[in-house]
Amino acid sequence: MERMSEALQRGAGDDLESRVKRAGGVLTIDLDAIVANWRLVTARLRPGSRCAGVVKADAYGLGMAQVAPALASAGCRRFFVATIDEGLALRTLLPEAEIMVLCGPFAGTEHDFLAHRLLPILNSPQQVADWAQFARRREQPLPAVLHVDTAMSRLGLNFNQAKAVAEDRATLAAVPPALVMSHLACADDPDHPLNSGQLAAFAAARTLFPGIEGSIAASSGIFLGPDWHADWVRPGAALYGLRPTPRSLNPMAQVARLQGRIVQLRDVDEGKTVGYGATHRVVAKARLATVAVGYADGIFRALGNRGCGHVGERRVPLVGRVSMDLVVFDVTGVPADEVRPGGFIDLIGPRQSVDDLARDAHTIGYEVLTALGSRYYRHYLGRTEE
């Protein structure tokens, strides 16, 4: 199966300058900012707690192939991915890293874990039993992470299931736990009663596995305070600049900038309508800029007649519906020399964070990042060459 990006690579004109000229949008990713965020989190931790890096979903859409080596060069040794394929891809990038795979093994994939030194996260009694059986067949103990569910009802052993594992000496001998982990449901709401309930449930589960390291906090959990840091924290969102503390200013450095290219400027008269469904009507003579990014690039349709862009410091409203490949901004009043065809409008930038864009789209920054499409020219700042 050949994907478009590969077909393109066989084409000509693939030098950097040509690719920028052809791009309808430019996504700039600051690897040094990601590293700074990893260090900022690390510096907040209680003594003895260490910081892994979550690079699942292609490093939240920003490019695992660039992000993971940057984190490793800053000292990150342990990484979390969601899927087996992501683990395999990360192994080729970082031969020495410790890689933990959140979905755990599916039937018939155990050899992939072993051959590529991926540590499975075992979520269910069946995954535990299957992995133990695999270890016994190999006649070698095969460490794994035990995932304990404390409120998500999503993945993980409940307390009784964890207890059964802890009391099963044969299983423990075959599967020495490398880590006991859980996951918070409401960490972004410091007052939510589930937080302390989960922490207590996690503590209870850990007593089943004395001497084994633990981890419960992802980005927002880290900012709940040192009680949550355990032995390992697992930030993802915070590394990529999303706000882990919804009630206060964002302590993280901004990582991404997204610029859409202006294809056409248009002066329209009062009464004209814009876009599909004619949902926006121009109420006074206006100047419109059509930009070459759309929902196929992750600019959600939910932003239609709601979102905005920026030209420098000036806010320009998004008018009409978002099209698949295009979006229109009202640039009336922006000085003529600041908008021109071929120029750019910021969709994510100094004046509009990923979280801001997400709010207008009725979602969260995580979804904005992971939806960023494959048609952008991706420009990496910072330590690509290390």
Which sequence positions are flagged as catalytic? 56, 276
Query: Rg for the chain (alpha carbons), in Å?
Result: 24
- One-letter amino acid at 125 equals P
Task: Name the minimum Å distance from CB 205 to its own copies.
Answer: 16
Residues touching its own copies, count (CB under 8 A): 108
Q: What is the 3-state secondary structure (H, E, C) of the chain?
A: CCCHHHHHHCCCCCCHHHHHHHCCEEEEEEHHHHHHHHHHHHHHCCCCCEECEECHHHHHCCCHHHHHHHHHHCCCCEEEECCHHHHHHHHHHCCCCEEEECCCCCCCCHHHHHHCCEEEEECCHHHHHHHHHHHHHHCCCCCEEEEECCCCCCCCECHHHHHHHHCCHHHHHHCCEEEEECCCCCCCCCCCHHHHHHHHHHHHHHHCCCCCCEECCCHHHHCCCHHHCCCEECCCHHHHCCCCCCCCCCCCCCCEEEEEEEEEEEEECCCCEECHHHCEECCCCEEEEEECCCHHHCCCHHHCCCCEEEECCEEEEEECCCCCCCEEEECCCCCHHHCCCCCEEEEEECCECHHHHHHHCCCCHHHHHHHCCCCCEEEEECCCCC
The stretch among 30-38, 135-143, 169-177, 284-292 that binds its own copies (CB under 8 A) is 284-292
Q: Which two tokens stand for residue 203?
A: 């503590």
For residues 101 and 113, the answer to whether their CB atoms sit within 8 Å is yes
Instruction: Looking at residues 315 to 334 of the shown chain, list those that interact with its own copies (rule: CB under 8 A).
Output: 320, 323-326, 328
Task: Name the minimum Å distance from CB 291 to its own copies.
Answer: 10
Instruction: Looking at residues 69 to 88 of the shown chain, list those that interact with its own copies (rule: CB under 8 A).
Output: 82-86, 88
Task: Name the minimum Å distance from CB 87 to its own copies.
Answer: 9
The stretch among 42-50, 120-128, 249-257, 306-314 that binds its own copies (CB under 8 A) is 120-128
Instruction: Looking at residues 3 to 32 of the shown chain, list those that interact with its own copies (rule: CB under 8 A).
Output: 3-8, 10-13, 18-19, 21-24
Q: Which element (helix H / strand E) includes 258?
A: strand 256-268
CA atoms of 307 and 322, how far apart (whole Å)? 10
For residues 159 and 205, the answer to whether their CB atoms sit within 8 Å is yes
**Binding-residue pattern over the window 226 to 265 for its own copies, x denoting contact by CB under 8 A:** -----------------------------------x-xxx
Choice between 49 and 309, CB closer to its own copies:
309
Among 38, 49, 63, 233, binds its own copies (CB under 8 A): 63
Does position 150 interact with its own copies (CB under 8 A)? The reply is: no
Does position 367 interact with its own copies (CB under 8 A)? The reply is: yes
Choice between 202 and 300, CB closer to its own copies:
300
Among 37, 49, 66, 352, binds its own copies (CB under 8 A): 66
Choice between 222 and 288, CB closer to its own copies:
288
Among 114, 129, 152, 203, binds its own copies (CB under 8 A): 152
The stretch among 163-171, 183-191, 226-234, 305-313 that binds its own copies (CB under 8 A) is 183-191
Does position 272 interact with its own copies (CB under 8 A)? The reply is: yes
Task: Name the minimum Å distance from CB 178 to its own copies.
Answer: 20
Among 46, 73, 75, 106, binds its own copies (CB under 8 A): 106
Choice between 16 and 43, CB closer to its own copies:
16
Task: Name the minimum Å distance from CB 297 to its own copies.
Answer: 8
Among 99, 174, 282, 339, binds its own copies (CB under 8 A): 282
Does position 296 interact with its own copies (CB under 8 A)? The reply is: yes
Choice between 78 and 91, CB closer to its own copies:
91
CA atoms of 52 and 185, how far apart (whole Å)? 19
The stretch among 71-79, 221-229, 347-355, 375-383 that binds its own copies (CB under 8 A) is 375-383
Does position 57 interact with its own copies (CB under 8 A)? The reply is: yes
Does position 204 interact with its own copies (CB under 8 A)? The reply is: no
Q: Which two tokens stand for residue 241?
A: 């600049």
